[in-house]
Chains A and B, each alone.
Chain A
Amino acid sequence: MSQIETFYEVMRKQGITRRSFMKYCSLTASALGLGPSFVPQIAHAMETKPRTPVIWVNGLECTCCSESFIRGAHPLAKDVVLSMISLDYSETLMAAAGHHAEAALEETIEKYKGNYILAVEGNPPLNEDGMFCIVGGKPFVEQLKHAAQHAKAVISWGACASYGCVQAAKPNPTQATPVHKVITDKPIIKVPGCPPIAEVMTGVITYMLTFDRLPELDRQGRPAMFYGQRIHDKCYRRPHFDAGQFVEHWDDDNARKGFCLYKMGCKGPTTYNACSTVRWNEGVSFPIQSGHGCIGCSEDGFWDQGSFYNRVTDLTQFGIEANADKIGMTAAGVVGAGVAAHAAVSALKAAQRKTQDKKEEA
């Protein structure tokens, strides 16, 4: 394995300056919540450890994960990613085609046996022996199992790989199945979202490369550092929620004023993700900031929970602080706890219990 270059070498080859590299390390450290003292550690690891090979395969999906990755990402993060998958195997971006592509996959598996990370975008449909997604003449599920067999760990990118996503919506015509239901003997890290935030994707992969282990996962297998808080906990519209100021109709005055979107179906209160802190497209915004509620795309089953626009009508406004704190504790973990009393507890609690029960089954 000594011939594998270091991550740093790859980046330098891509024309990234030492200064940019150090900046990347410090950005990553802060994104991972690690603090400045970890910067040298990250830099050292990237300079000295052989780059971890990544194989990126695509099943039933829409490529939004790749797109988020290459398009929306911070320039530095993007360079890292491009150099990282540059390339062992990625169907969307690589140079080879046809048989050469398949050969490249085989070669990569053989060369890095037991040492590579398998990144999966999309999921396998199992109906009709997997014929709804055929790659190189074989069902994708076979490619997936084959590539997973010698992987060190598996990353399930996005809601498709993690949970099934919209293509698993009732009646789930193709029986689209999340990766962890098919691959059961490898560590799997789920990075849900439709798509996941680019910085979250790079953060996760950098952590794994730097520390050579999986980041701390919550009980659903998501990296706790990015999925530890609800959108609601850090939402800039939260004061309006607490004050009971809601948008009632898309075109009302409250919408113009930027009031809370809870009644427009916003799922921020039950969704764990980093949108309200990291934000999207290099940090410019996130859906709630554009005036549309969160649809909960990083939660299991978000596609089959009734309409995305269902208004919550049984909102209980005040006088339930005790319950509110309790919810805050269980839900928000670190920061959210004790910050504020929630209104709307009964509705939230019910919704939350529902999703959590579902998660336990999964």
Chain B
Amino acid sequence: MTDRSLIVGPFNRVEGDLEIRLDVRDGAVAAAYTNSPLFRGFEMMLLGKDPRDALTITPRICGICSISQSAAAALALADASGAVMPAQGMLIAAILHAVENLADHVTHFNLFYMPDFARPVYSAEPWHDQAVARFTAMEGSAARDAVTARAELLHIVGLLGGKWPHTLAIQPAGVTKTPTTSDKVRIQTALRSFRRHLETTLFGAPVETFAALSRKDDLLNWTTGDAGLFIRIAQAVGLDDMGYGPGRFMSFGAYPLPDRRAFKAGVWNGTLSPVDTTQITEDLSHAWMLGDTAHPRDSTTEPDEDMRDTAYSWCKAPRLNGQTVETGALARQIIDANPLARDLAAHPSAFARVAGRLIEIARTQMLLEDLAAQIDPKDRFMGHWDMPASGTGEGLVEAARGALGHWVNFDGGKITGYQIIAPTTWNFSPRDQEGNAGPVEAALVGAPVRDGEETPIAVQHIVRSFDPCMVCTVH
């Protein structure tokens, strides 16, 4: 077995472009370097614009998580202006956002993750035929089911937000839509129909039964639905033995409600502590960006057009207290103290990440039903707010893929600074000045590379377990 270097990419079935350079030694990955080869410069374009325009421009960073971006922008402007959403406004914003995240998880499982198990490399496996029938890219029956179910689920966003993607309804002081009683009924009907989809295809059992699993052993014994097929395959291919994250998880907390965030905020590294966002920095040592390591409120975006040799990605390297953290559904569920997720936390593998998403699918469905039942069409959905001429604000939300932060400064009615750290920026960050690899880079070390493999299948499983969204990463 000789040492060699591989470039893996473009990755298909990934939002945006991604390239990973692998040093391979003795049949395993010895080092990995993630490159986000797409740069658009949103943070530069926002400069000089009316701060409110961030509500329209930032969602266009990403057509998959546009509501997350709009919610983060709205919270950043609310923080800067003192705007407060009425309770029902928060409720509608939470529903819009949770629907998008739920749809995203289901997409990831059916269209982005499972199709890899239908590849010919697994053709000798006893489960392969089933995987092919269900998950072959673009053709498997699961894709059809999921795409139809998602489209119906997204009627909710249509009803409340006018359109998806690039929904506009969320504003700093509430939502522009006043739902009617008939809207409420339609939303609840759409949720019932989505529940049916989850219970007949994904879980093959009541959502509550899956959500109630509390131990990893129980999960490993789950046999019904596509989730059961996944667990069978995961055990066969050793998905739990690959792709370990740093074991440090961060969540900004999902879905602000009047008294709490529906999924709590925090940092987990064996014990739970609060997130101190003042300890976030963006390191530029290995990014084609000019400037010093700084907190996002103070940092700038200035691409290094010489693309210096010591750097290898357009992605900055965000760190919390100088360390990498993993973010995503698994992190959210661990931090929200879901017992099964906590049981998985000790072994933060590719398997744990996909399982974390399954847990969250079940819990988000239940959350949405609860929120929808609380809609009161007679109440207020928008408060009064005026943009001050100058201000500074921080907007923290949880996108499907994890923690998303917007930091805005404006003066004289114009944006003077806007920085965005997306979930995939955290997970797919390049090395920092200490030489510490980003979470995915570290997770890939040790991944087996079979003889002659140009796009190692283990690498695919690990990378996709993070559900990369590369357009958000660099923006």
- Write the residues of chain A forming the contact surface with B, with a CB cutoff of 8 angstroms: 14-15, 58, 60-68, 70-73, 75, 78-79, 82, 85-87, 91-102, 125, 127-128, 131-137, 165-167, 169-174, 176, 194-195, 249-251, 255-256, 275, 279-282, 284-292, 295, 297, 303, 306-310
Is the pair B154, A72 in contact by a Cβ cutoff of 8 Å?
yes
Which residue on chain A has the smallest CB distance to residue B37?
A134
Q: How far is the CB of B46 from chain A (nearest CB, A)?
A: 8
Contact with A along B45-63 (1 / 0, CB 8 A): 1001110110111001111
Q: List B145-168 residues whose CB lies under 8 Å from chain A.
A: 147-148, 150-151, 154-155, 157-168
Which residue on chain B has the smallest CB distance to residue A63?
B63
Which residue on chain B has the smallest CB distance to residue A66?
B63
User: B307 at interface (Cβ–Cβ under 8 A)?
Assistant: yes
Chain B residues near A63 (CB, 8 Å)?
A: 15-16, 62-64, 471
Chain A residues near B161 (CB, 8 Å)?
A: 285, 290
Given contacts A98-B455, A166-B60, 15 further A-B contacts (CB under 8 A): A62-B60, A68-B165, A71-B103, A78-B151, A82-B144, A85-B138, A97-B10, A132-B41, A137-B19, A172-B45, A251-B383, A284-B159, A287-B162, A291-B162, A295-B168
A64 to B70, CA, bound (A): 14
Q: How far is the CB of B312 from chain A (nearest CB, A)?
A: 12
Chain B residues near A60 (CB, 8 Å)?
A: 38, 40
Is the pair A64, B60 in contact by a Cβ cutoff of 8 Å?
yes
A288 to B169, CA, bound (A): 10
Is the pair B382, A255 in contact by a Cβ cutoff of 8 Å?
yes
A78 to B151, CA, bound (A): 10
Which residue on chain B has the smallest CB distance to residue A307?
B50
A99 to B456, CA, bound (A): 12
Query: What DSSP secondary structure best describes chain A's contact surface?
Result: loop
Known A71-B151, A170-B45; judge A101-B10 contact (CB<8 A). yes
A284 to B155, CA, bound (A): 7
A255 to B139, CA, bound (A): 45
A174 to B45, CA, bound (A): 11
A63 to B59, CA, bound (A): 12
Is the pair B8, A98 in contact by a Cβ cutoff of 8 Å?
yes
Known A72-B151, A98-B455, A281-B155; judge A173-B62 contact (CB<8 A). no
Q: How far is the CB of B472 from chain A (nearest CB, A)?
A: 9
Which residue on chain A has the smallest CB distance to residue B47?
A171
Chain B residues near A250 (CB, 8 Å)?
A: 171, 173-174, 176, 382, 384-385
Counting chain B CB atoms within 10 Å of each CB, the highest count among A79, A82, A308 belongs to A308
Is the pair B138, A93 in contact by a Cβ cutoff of 8 Å?
yes
Q: How far is the CB of A106 from chain B (nearest CB, A)?
A: 14
Which residue on chain A has the smallest CB distance to residue B9?
A98
Known A249-B384, A285-B158; judge A173-B174 contact (CB<8 A). no
Is the pair A292, B162 in contact by a Cβ cutoff of 8 Å?
yes
A195 to B164, CA, bound (A): 9
Is the pair A99, B455 in contact by a Cβ cutoff of 8 Å?
yes
Counting chain A CB atoms within 10 Å of each CB, the highest count among B12, B53, B137 belongs to B12
Which 5 residue pairs are nearest across A and B when measured between Cβ atoms? A64-B63, A290-B162, A173-B41, A281-B158, A95-B137
Chain A residues near B136 (CB, 8 Å)?
A: 95
Counting chain A CB atoms within 10 Å of each CB, the highest count among B39, B56, B163, B384 belongs to B163
Chain B residues near A255 (CB, 8 Å)?
A: 176, 178, 382
Q: How far is the CB of A241 from chain B (nearest CB, A)?
A: 17
A42 to B262, CA, bound (A): 50
Q: List B119-145 residues whose CB lies under 8 Å from chain A.
A: 119, 136-139, 143-144
Is the pair A171, B45 in contact by a Cβ cutoff of 8 Å?
yes
Is the pair A61, B44 in contact by a Cβ cutoff of 8 Å?
no
Counting chain B CB atoms within 10 Å of each CB, the highest count among A62, A94, A166, A284 belongs to A62
User: B247 at interface (Cβ–Cβ under 8 A)?
Assistant: no
Chain A residues near B15 (CB, 8 Å)?
A: 63, 92
Is the pair B45, A169 in contact by a Cβ cutoff of 8 Å?
yes
Chain B residues near A176 (CB, 8 Å)?
A: 40
Is the pair B168, A290 in contact by a Cβ cutoff of 8 Å?
yes
A270 to B44, CA, bound (A): 28
A61 to B42, CA, bound (A): 12
Is the pair B45, A173 in contact by a Cβ cutoff of 8 Å?
yes
Which residue on chain B has the smallest CB distance to residue A302?
B56
Is the pair B166, A137 in contact by a Cβ cutoff of 8 Å?
no
A66 to B45, CA, bound (A): 24
